[in-house]
């Protein structure tokens, strides 16, 4: 079940944002976006935020039950993906 959930998350857009971060930030900067950093620095920020999230997940499992994290995390991830799709449109 965990493998299916992980595959679902990657197909729904999380991996796409990481893989195409350089292209996304490059297009934003070409269109006069409000980023004060270079495209490479923006990509480093995406990578660093993923690392921090992975490190914090260890402490989240120690504080909460795995079931609460699994259900709550997937619900919040769905809400965030819907919100990002809404704002992209």
Q: Evaluate whether 22 touches 43 at the Cβ level (below 8 Å).
A: yes
What is the mean predicted confidence (pLDDT) over 54-74? Answer: 83
Q: How far is CA 68 from the centre of its chain?
A: 20
Strand ranges, E, within the chain? none
Check pLDDT > 70 for residue 82. Answer: yes
The span from the first CA to the last CA of the chain, in angstroms, equals 32
- Total domains, the chain: 1
Residues spanned by the domain of 50: 2-88
- How confident is the model at residue 12, as a pLDDT? 65
pLDDT at 24: 72
b/e map 35-50, b = 16+ CB within 10 Å: eeeebeebbeeeeeee
pLDDT (0 to 100) of residue 87: 82
Mark residue 58 as left, alpha or beta (left: phi above 0; alpha: psi -120 to 50; beta: remaining): alpha
């Amino acid at each position: 079940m965990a493998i299916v959930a992980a595959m679902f998350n990657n197909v729904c857009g999380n991996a796409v944002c990481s893989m195409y971060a350089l292209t996304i930030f490059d297009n934003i900067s070409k269109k006069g976006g409000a980023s004060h950093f270079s495209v490479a620095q923006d990509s480093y920020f995406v990578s660093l935020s993923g690392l921090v999230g992975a490190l914090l997940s260890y402490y989240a499992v120690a504080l909460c039950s795995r079931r609460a994290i699994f259900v709550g995390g997937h619900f919040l991830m769905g809400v965030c993906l819907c919100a990002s799709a809404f704002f992209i449109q």
